[in-house]
């Protein structure tokens, strides 16, 4: 059954874009989150479910695009996940607090290890109350700052006894692993880290050390390092370039850009990991 599920996910992710139905507009949902109402965008397959569901965590640039509720990079992944049979919930940690991009703000107004983890837990608590959700198959995926929040959320110390079952799995794209490595990171759910060896926004070596250090005292932790890839390698049709001073929704230094081979393999890795 598991092998069949993997093949289904891979086949759907590999389907030509021209054959796929257009991605429907997301539904906005409101989630209680302490003193904040967490706004989130929801993509859901047709039917009654229950569906495996992914909580997708935006990076420091925020969830929305310049004129869209969901930026193209996240819409692209939502489309792939939806085609593979997953519902996708995208919490807007910044917009819910009336904040813009946080990439170049030295003192972040939304702390990764506190507010963003609280958002993750609120999203999970809301999902387990929905009849269309397969409650034992709620997973996490995050990019950059969202991936760093994910690393905090899956630590054994962050387990919430009030919401069961736990997350099924987690996927972190190019997180900043330096703090987690320094604190002896481990995970209570299977966690996959995907990063480029040439990433000069974050550190692939810190992520490698973090994952290696977790072995033997953690749930399964795996890292895939793509030799020629830079930050944002999974984004579609983004020419490699140095970050400009005017790009407030990306990091203030380094290079970003698509790596077609790494992007294709990452799609395969994610499909297999979520089908576990």
Q: Residue 93 pLDDT more than 60?
A: yes
Q: What is the mean pLDDT of residues 11-33?
A: 69
**Which pLDDT score is estimated for 14?**
47
Q: Is the pLDDT of residue 18 over 60?
A: no
Residue 253 pLDDT grade (very low, low, confident, very high; cuts 50, 70, 90): confident
Residue 246 pLDDT level (bands cut at 50, 70, 90): low
Q: What percentage of the chain has pLDDT greater than the value 70? A: 89
Listed in order, strand segments (DSSP E) in the chain are: 27-33, 36-43, 51-57, 87-91, 133-143, 170-173, 191-196, 221-226, 241-242, 255-256
Return the closest-CA partner of residue 50 out of 137, 177, 147: 137
- Residue-wise pLDDT for 167-198, tens only, equals 999 999 999 998 887 788 999 999 999 999 99
Grade residue 244 by pLDDT with cuts at 50, 70 and 90.
confident
What was the pLDDT predicted at 126?
A: 96
Tens digits of residue pLDDT in 36-58: 999 999 999 999 989 999 999 99
Reply yes or no: is the peptide bond before residue 50 cis, omega within 30 of 0.
yes
Share of the chain above pLDDT 90, in %: 71
Contacts of 275 (CB under 8 A, 6+ apart): 2, 5, 6, 8, 9
- pLDDT tens by residue, 101-118: 888 887 777 888 899 999
Residues 237 and 240: their CA atoms lie apart, in Å, by 9
Which domains are seen in the chain, by residue range? Answer: 2-14+26-274 (3.40.50.1820)
Give 210-231 pLDDT, tens digit per residue. 999 999 988 899 999 999 999 9
CA 55 to chain centre: 7
Alpha-helical segments (H) within 22-176: 72-83, 117-127, 145-153
The band of 165, judged by pLDDT with boundaries at 50, 70 and 90, is confident
State mean pLDDT over 51-78: 94
User: Model confidence at 63, in pLDDT bands (50, 70, 90)?
Assistant: very high
pLDDT of residue 12 exceeding 60:
no
Among 46, 45, 76, 44, which residue's Cα sits nearest to residue 58?
A: 76
User: Looking at the predicted structure, is the pLDDT value of residue 155 above 50?
Assistant: yes
Least confident segment among 55-64, 119-128, 153-162, 243-252: 243-252
Report the chain's mean pLDDT, rounded to a whole number. 89
The answer to whether 51 and 45 have CB atoms below 8 angstroms apart is yes
Collapsing DSSP to helix, strand or coil, 24 comes out as coil
Q: State yes or no: cis peptide before 14, omega within 30 of 0.
A: no
Q: What is the rounded average pLDDT of the residues 70-86?
A: 96
């Amino acid at each position: 059954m598991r092998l069949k599920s993997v093949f289904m996910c891979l086949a759907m992710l590999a389907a030509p874009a021209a054959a796929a139905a257009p991605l429907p507009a997301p539904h906005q949902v409101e989630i209680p989150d302490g003193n904040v109402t967490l706004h989130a965008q929801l993509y859901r397959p047709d039917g009654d479910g229950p569906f495996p569901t992914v909580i997708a965590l935006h990076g420091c640039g925020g969830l929305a695009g310049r004129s869209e509720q969901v930026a193209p990079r996240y819409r692209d992944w939502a489309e792939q996940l939806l085609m593979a049979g997953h519902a996708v919930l995208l919490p807007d940690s910044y917009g819910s607090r009336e904040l813009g991009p946080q990439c170049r703000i030295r003192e972040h107004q939304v702390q990764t290890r506190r507010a963003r983890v609280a958002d993750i837990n609120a999203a999970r608590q809301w999902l387990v109350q929905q009849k269309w959700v397969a409650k034992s198959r709620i997973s996490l995926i995050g990019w950059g700052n969202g991936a760093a929040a994910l690393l905090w959320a899956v630590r054994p110390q962050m387990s919430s006894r009030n919401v069961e079952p736990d997350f099924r799995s987690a996927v972190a794209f190019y997180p900043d692993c330096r703090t987690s490595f320094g604190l002896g990171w481990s995970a209570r759910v299977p966690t996959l880290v995907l990063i480029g060896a040439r990433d000069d926004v974050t550190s692939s070596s810190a992520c490698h050390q973090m994952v290696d250090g977790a072995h033997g005292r953690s749930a399964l932790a795996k890292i895939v390092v793509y030799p020629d890839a830079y930050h944002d390698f999974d984004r579609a049709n983004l020419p490699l370039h140095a970050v400009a001073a005017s790009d407030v929704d990306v990091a203030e230094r380094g290079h970003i850009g698509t790596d077609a081979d790494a992007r294709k393999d990452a799609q395969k890795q994610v499909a297999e990991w979520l089908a576990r």
